[in-house]
Amino acid sequence: MASDPKTTPTHVRAPHGATVTEITWADGHQGLYPNKILRGYCPCAGCQGHGGTRSFIEGGDSELREVTPVGNYALQLTWGDRHDTGIYTFAYLRSLCQCQECQATQATAGTK
Ligand SMILES: [Zn+2]
Ligand SMILES: [Zn+2]
């Protein structure tokens, strides 16, 4: 699988106690991820069920405890309440980016 720079993180910054995680991508993009958003969009089946659409789930503990690389395609995030079943693929993370640039693009792309 050739790696696409858009879905290849080169640096993940998740300082302890911070509320925002930053991911630098290989194409130079600086991604911004409020931990609340990451937790709310936890992709595990327990949070999202088995439906095709992802939705924001409120109420989870958004203290990010640990970031663990999974293979070379995803990150596993462990939360303050020890919820750690969410495997965030790089492509998924990229699509969750909350920076102004991405938000503007997402707004014009139109969502279902
Ligand atoms: Zn989950
Ligand atoms: Zn972005």
Could you give all domains of the chain from N- to C-terminal order, each with its CATH number? 7-109 (3.30.2020.30)
Which regions of 1-112 does DSSP assign to beta strands (E)? Answer: 9-13, 20-25, 30-34, 64-70, 74-79, 87-89
Cα-to-centroid distance, 48 and ligand 1 (Å): 7
pLDDT digits (tens, 9 = 90+) for 20-51: 999 999 999 999 999 999 999 999 999 998 87
Cα-to-centroid distance, 74 and ligand 1 (Å): 15
Cα-to-centroid distance, 75 and ligand 1 (Å): 13
Q: What is the pTM of this model?
A: 0.90
Average pLDDT, the chain: 93
Query: What residues are neighbours of ligand 2 (ion), with CB under 5 Å?
Result: 31, 97, 99, 102
**Closest ligand to residue 33's CA:** 2
**Closest ligand to residue 47's CA:** 1
Q: Report the percentage of the chain scoring pLDDT > 70.
A: 95
